[in-house]
Structure 1
Amino acid sequence: MSAQSSPVPSRRGNYDLVMAAFVGLLLISNIGATKLIAFGPRVDVGGVQLLPIITDGGAILFPLTYILGDVLAEVYGLRRANRAILTGFVLAALMSLTFLVVDAAPPAADWPNQDAWHAVLGFVPRIVVASLLGYLAGQLLNALVLVRIKQRWGAGRLWVRLITSTLVGELADTLVFCLIAFGPLGNPLGGESIPWPALLNYTAVGWLYKVGVEVLFLPVTYRVIAAVRRREPEGA
């Protein structure tokens, strides 16, 4: 075949890279969420625990999954966004199952860290069940709200779509996750619940923090969406 007749390679989009980053952030966050973190002294007002601010290690990166979720839904549409969401669901479930099997396997006689492994990663199945259910509810709602607003009112006012979808998605995600991971709904899976004042603090802080991160990163989200869209061969 002559050089003139050789096919020109088509320009590839970034869907696979965005999905890989999305799934990777989800898996890292699920492990980080096994540790609760507190900032500040103890302050109670009217039976409500205002301080310390309670969150978990997953909060460091998890809000970025919503930013990438917005990119997926805005650039690629609901079908391909849901494909990435379900891929993350399956791999997070596989991670949880793997940790469960490893935890149950007998440790080598010369390996002294079984108790440490169980204390941290032995708790992951409950965290991942909470994360998976919250993640499905939150991400699917986030993508659905973003796409439906775009279909109803057009492509303008991207900031309205991003903030509204985040408010709805993160609320569903945070409520489901907190009530299962550290609340009474997760007790059948093992482990203990934290007291209600701390749980309410944890839930409110988690939701406000995640929404705040997305609002703060709106300029970055705008630029990422524009950059990804420019690289799509179909001009998504």
Structure 2
Amino acid sequence: MSIPTDAHNMGYRKRQLFMVLSGIFLTNALLAELIGVKIFSGEAVFGLPGAQIPVLGATLDFNLTAGVIIWPIVFVTTDIINEYFGRDGVKKISVLTAMLIAYGFLVIVAATTLPPAQFWLDVNNQGPNGTAFDMDFAFNRVFRQGLGIIIGSLVAFLVGQLLDAYVFHKLKHLTGSKKLWLRATGSTLISQLVDTVVVLFIAFYLFGNWDLKTVLSVSVINYLYKFVVAVVLTPVLYLAHPIIDRYLAGDHAVPMDTFISKD
């Protein structure tokens, strides 16, 4: 039985869309794991002094993990995948990403246990001010610190993504094809609260040297950042929707909700 050309083209376009969205999702998720070991000062970026806000016995500055800079791209992409491919689409890409992160974990473990070449140590044996510098120690320190983040992220990522898909799905049943802002923002805010606390607790408390006050302080700031960005990026979903619909439709005029997953 031959497949109608129109249906074939639409199916091809939808597969291409999933590949592009998956590539964006995977790339940013993996990069966030690698750069997440760095904690930066939000105030220092703008040349401001530390906020020093007292919260529950902790002093709150705007300190964030570098990974949160690009993490909003992940949850916006999650919402688009959820919208067009349903929970199954989110589960597939989430499990694949978790497997690749685990693979990255094994590669880092192997790389940091390799004996360093002596010439590599010799040509990198001084810091900028002429002080002694151990390149192998620095390399291992950075990447092994990331191992705790990878373990924490694997747990937080899977829990957060599955929770995001579940909440999005429930809200979609309540709203239908309307109120995209509610299901996108609502699912993100709930899932990222869990993700933020879990990853920092595992990575920096269980595997690191932070106390609970520091975990709480950085968790609050990271979540506030994600909260604000989730709201700010909501219009992106509305801009992406007609563009994706036109791409999937090709030259054919179809109702706007034709391609939306009913899951």
Tell me the TM-score normalized by structure 2: 0.79
Cα RMSD for the two superposed structures: 2.0
Moved beyond 6 Å, runs of 4+: none
User: Deviation at 1:180?
Assistant: 0.6
1:29 and 1:59 in contact (8 A); partners too: yes
Question: Counterparts of 1:116 and 1:110 in 2: how far apart (Å)?
Answer: 16
User: Deviation at 1:66?
Assistant: 0.4
- 1:209 aligns with 225
The alignment status of 1:116 with 2:117, answered yes or no, reads: no
User: Deviation at 1:46?
Assistant: 6.6
User: Deviation at 1:122?
Assistant: 1.7
The alignment status of 1:235 with 2:259, answered yes or no, reads: yes
User: Deviation at 1:23?
Assistant: 0.5
1:54 and 1:202 in contact (8 A); partners too: yes
SS in 1 for 2:104: helix
How far does the alpha carbon of each residue in 1:203-236 deviate from its partner, in whole angstroms, 9 at most, with x for none?
1111111121111011112212332243336734
- 2:199 aligns with 177
Worse-matched range after superposition: 105-114 or 130-139: 105-114
Q: Please, which of 164, 174, 177 is the counterpart of residue 155 of structure 1? A: 177
Aligned-residue identity in percent:
25
Residue identity matched to 2:184: L
User: Deviation at 1:198?
Assistant: 2.1
Tell me the TM-score normalized by structure 1: 0.87
Residue identity matched to 2:169: V
How far does the alpha carbon of each residue in 1:52-100 deviate from its partner, in whole angstroms, 9 at most, with x for none?
2121110110121000000010111111111111111111111111011
1:133 and 1:177 in contact (8 A); partners too: yes
Worse-matched range after superposition: 221-230 or 165-174: 221-230
1:146 and 1:162 in contact (8 A); partners too: yes
Matches within 5 A, 1:80-229: 80-112=89-121, 113-183=135-205, 186-187=206-207, 192-229=208-245
Question: Counterparts of 1:167 and 1:160 in 2: how far apart (Å)?
Answer: 10
Question: Counterparts of 2:203 and 2:152 in 1: how far apart (Å)?
Answer: 5
1:36 and 1:55 in contact (8 A); partners too: yes
2:81 and 2:89 in contact (8 A); partners too: yes
SS in 2 for 1:37: strand
Between the two proteins, the alignment pairs up a number of residues equal to 224
SS in 2 for 1:106: coil
SS in 1 for 2:58: strand
Residue identity matched to 2:84: V
**Structure 2: gaps (5+ residues):** 44-48, 122-134, 250-257
User: Deviation at 1:42?
Assistant: 6.3
How far does the alpha carbon of each residue in 1:169-188 deviate from its partner, in whole angstroms, 9 at most, with x for none?
101101110111112xx23x
